């Protein structure tokens, strides 16, 4: 089965099937919700062939796969035996440790993720249909236009029905209940009531909430709103329905739950939505739209520059979903959105940088990643470019953000807005076509895309050449990254073991590693952390320190110093790569109690002080102080032997590398 081995590896690295609460996918990522993220093996996941990168954001464990994510997902669901296509209700997921922002992003992405593909497809058809009319290729009265418009417009017109289904899944109720609630909001008689000439009386007269009342429900006034294409009302309605559903299941006998629970949910939720939830949600949407417009109107160019500069950062952390929700709200309230369109140059800036890297690199592996990333970037899918090419090299990513900022400023300057949620990349151009047809705002978008591409390419060719084949941030020694797995730390600096050993298949010279601490020798197998004790990181031993001082165990160079001071990596003059990790989970102290005495790339002699730490303070904070000393490039040695046991002092003979 295609992707079977990859799927098995991914499931193992997330902590096994039993640790998966749910898994869905978007354009390029598998999005896991794990019961316990500490059980996942971040380093092994990053090192897995077929995995581009790993992102933890919004309460999700996101495994970046690339353009073939859908095929990998299908295989993973089968291999893992996940029920319901990997999706489960939120009741199965503990969100207590998630921040309010993480919960919001998780909610929005969970609702919009399942419908993103059909939404973009419908938007593309709707956009191209508008373009065909603008180019006089067809008329609005032709049968072709009517059919294509029905295809493109139906999802957006009946968006409450679609969102009712996905929201129902998110909130853990029957999807058909969600669809029914959404359909009630789009019911023709209800929609037509907003234009009724029969006005019983006016509610909130003289205020900004003034509303003519065309009908009542049991004598209660119903404020007529047009809920077609709306977003917030249906999401809030389904949330309310989930609460009613939960209550109904508690009080209704099991024998009649099948029909009386949905009966109670519909009978309560829909009237409450029309009377209370719908109007309040609509006013809230109007307020959001007004706020967004105020920011945009202050300075469209500044707004475009900021949106362009940070859009790719938003994508990395998954917070771009919040803008998608705001966009849909704006389109429903105003008929257009001025904000999301400012980001449309970002994928082209990224693509321009990648095109330059393809020409600059001498590494075939880099080129093999960059070429498909360039192609997908043209169509707006930039994760392969970000995670596989630019972000690991830092400077190209920054250059793409600068080019994107300029492109965004141009879009703002041209006054470009988007009127539909269509495709990405080049397929997003029809988004900007209004009822008036193709005008300078559309041409301005195209110009901005072209400028961002050219600038991204030029910036990389001029300023980014030295970063192309330099050691990558992602090419860290696997042992060091694994050591930080349970602390959810990112390894940002470490020696590139691939570079130092790429030209040699022979073993390194034998050498003796001295003790970096004074204390008691502890076998690695007894360390209270499976990452170390399993030997997966490499061979060595640990020391239970008797004083808070770490000294260099070899003559060599500092390869890596963690900002928190709790770990350090060295490379000896003979090529041994050694990692010293002070205590377990001590990264959580955020540097408190640690004092680093050396810097990266500094040359040191055996016995030279490296780190001082407050042994008593670390213990009082509840952390283990057992310190593993690991040889991480074991592939270059036949064996590593521990030369002593019991008490040991700094600079005593400790490990024999053979």
Specify the 3-state DSSP secondary structure of 415. coil
| 25, 26, 120, 320: the active-site residue | 26
Specify the 3-state DSSP secondary structure of 595. strand
| 479-657 is classed CATH 2.60.40.10 | no
pLDDT at 530 over 90: no
The most confident of the ranges 350-359, 388-397, 526-535 is 350-359
Q: For 570-605, what is each residue's pLDDT tens digit? A: 999 888 889 898 988 787 787 888 899 998 889 999
| 214, 320, 566, 581: the active-site residue | 581
Tell which wins on pLDDT, 133 or 83: 133
pLDDT grade, residue 493 (50/70/90)? Answer: very low
Distance CA 323, CA 292 (A): 11
DSSP symbols for 265-296: HHHHHHHHIIIIIHHHHHHHHHHHHHHHHHHH
State the pLDDT at residue 161. Answer: 94
Tell which wins on pLDDT, 169 or 472: 169
| Residue recorded with tokens 């590593």 | 640
Architecture of domain 4-98: 2-Layer Sandwich (3.30)
Q: Do residues 389 and 64 lie in contact, with contact meaning Cβ atoms separated by under 8 Å?
A: no
Q: For 41-100, what is each residue's pLDDT tens digit? A: 998 898 888 888 888 776 788 888 876 788 898 899 888 888 655 554 444 444 555 566
What is the C-alpha radius of gyration for the chain, rounded to an integer number of angstroms?
A: 29
Catalytic site includes residue 566: no
Specify the 3-state DSSP secondary structure of 202. strand
**CA atoms in the 13 A half-sphere facing the CB of 379:** 11
Q: Do residues 349 and 452 lie in contact, with contact meaning Cβ atoms separated by under 8 Å?
A: yes
Backbone angles phi, psi at 319, to 5 degrees: -80, 0
User: Element (H or E) spanning 611, and its range?
Assistant: strand 609-613
State the pLDDT at residue 412. Answer: 93
Sign of the CA dihedral with 85 first, then 87, 88, and 93 last: positive
Picking from 472, 464, 517, the residue whose alpha carbon sits closest to that of residue 491 is: 472
State the pLDDT at residue 85. Answer: 52
State the pLDDT at residue 228. Answer: 85
Percentage of the chain beyond pLDDT 70 is: 85
- CATH 3.30.1360.60 location in the chain: 4-98
Catalytic site includes residue 581: yes
Burial class from Cβ neighbours inside 10 Å (0-12, 13-18, 19+) for residue 36 reads: exposed
- 512 DSSP β-pair partners: 656
- CATH 2.70.70.10 location in the chain: 479-657
State the pLDDT at residue 516. Answer: 94
pLDDT at 649 over 60: yes
Looking at residue 472, the DSSP 8-state letter turns out to be P
- 519 DSSP β-pair partners: 545, 648
């Amino acid at each position: 089965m295609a992707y079977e081995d990859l799927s098995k590896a991914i499931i193992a690295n997330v902590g096994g099937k039993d640790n998966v609460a749910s898994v869905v996918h978007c354009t390029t990522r598998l999005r896991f919700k794990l019961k316990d993220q500490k059980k996942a093996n971040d380093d092994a996941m990053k090192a897995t062939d077929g995995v581009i990168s790993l992102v933890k954001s919004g309460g999700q464990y996101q495994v970046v796969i690339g353009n073939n994510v859908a095929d990998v997902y299908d295989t993973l669901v089968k291999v893992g035996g996940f029920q319901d296509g990997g999706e489960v209700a939120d009741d199965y997921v503990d969100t207590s440790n998630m921040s309010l922002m993480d919960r919001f992003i998780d909610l929005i992405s969970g609702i919009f993720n399942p419908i993103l593909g059909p939404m973009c497809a419908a938007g593309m058809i709707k956009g191209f249909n508008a373009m065909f009319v603008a180019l006089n290729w067809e008329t609005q009265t032709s049968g072709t236009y009517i059919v294509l418009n029905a295809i493109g417009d139906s999802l957006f017109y009946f968006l409450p029905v679609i969102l009712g289904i996905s929201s129902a899944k998110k909130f853990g109720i029957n999807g058909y209940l969600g669809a029914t609630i959404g359909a009630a909001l789009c019911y023709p008689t209800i929609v037509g009531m907003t234009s009724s000439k029969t006005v019983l009386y006016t509610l909130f007269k003289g205020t900004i909430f003034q509303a003519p009342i065309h009908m009542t429900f049991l004598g209660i006034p119903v404020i007529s709103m047009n809920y077609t294409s709306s977003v917030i009302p249906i999401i809030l309605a389904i949330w309310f329905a989930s609460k009613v559903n939960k209550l109904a299941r508690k009080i209704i006998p099991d024998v009649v739950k099948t029909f009386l629970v949905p009966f109670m949910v519909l009978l309560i939720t829909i009237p409450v939505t029309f009377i209370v939830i719908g109007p309040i949600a609509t006013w809230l949407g109007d307020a959001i739209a007004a706020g967004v417009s105020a920011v945009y109107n202050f300075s469209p160019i500044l707004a475009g520059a900021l949106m362009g500069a940070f859009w790719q950062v938003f994508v990395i952390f998954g917070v771009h979903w919040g803008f998608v929700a705001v966009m849909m709200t704006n389109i429903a309230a105003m008929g257009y959105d001025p904000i999301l369109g400012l980001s449309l140059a970002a994928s082209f800036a990224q693509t321009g940088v990648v095109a330059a890297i393809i020409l600059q690199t001498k590494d075939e592996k880099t080129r093999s990643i960059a070429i498909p990333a360039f192609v997908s970037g043209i169509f707006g899918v930039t994760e392969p470019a970000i995670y596989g090419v630019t972000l690991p090299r830092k400077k190209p990513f920054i250059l793409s953000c600068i080019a994107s900022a300029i492109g965004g400023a141009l879009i703002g300057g041209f006054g470009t807005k988007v009127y539909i949620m269509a495709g990405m990349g080049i397929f997003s151009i029809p988004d900007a076509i209004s009822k008036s047809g193709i005008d300078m705002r559309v041409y301005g978008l195209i110009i901005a895309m072209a400028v961002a591409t050219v600038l991204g390419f030029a910036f990389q060719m001029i300023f980014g050449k030295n970063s192309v084949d330099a050691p990558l941030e992602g090419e860290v020694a696997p042992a060091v990254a694994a050591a930080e797995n349970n602390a959810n730390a990112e390894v940002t600096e470490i020696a590139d073991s691939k570079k130092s050993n790429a030209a040699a298949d022979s073993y390194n010279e034998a050498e003796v590693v001295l003790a970096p601490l004074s204390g008691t020798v502890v076998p690695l197998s007894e360390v209270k952390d499976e990452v170390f004790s399993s030997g997966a990181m490499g061979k060595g031993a640990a020391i239970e320190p008797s004083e808070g001082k770490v000294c260099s165990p070899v003559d060599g160079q500092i390869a890596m110093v963690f900002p928190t001071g709790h770990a350090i990596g060295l490379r000896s003059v003979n090529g041994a790569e050694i990692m010293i990790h002070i205590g377990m989970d001590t990264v959580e102290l955020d540097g408190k109690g640690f004092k680093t005495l050396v810097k990266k790339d500094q040359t040191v002699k055996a016995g030279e002080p490296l780190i001082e730490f407050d042994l008593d303070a670390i213990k009082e904070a509840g952390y283990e102080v057992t310190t593993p000393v690991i040889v991480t490039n074991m592939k270059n040695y036949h064996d590593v032997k521990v030369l002593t046991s019991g008490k040991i002092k700094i600079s005593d003979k400790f490990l024999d590398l053979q």
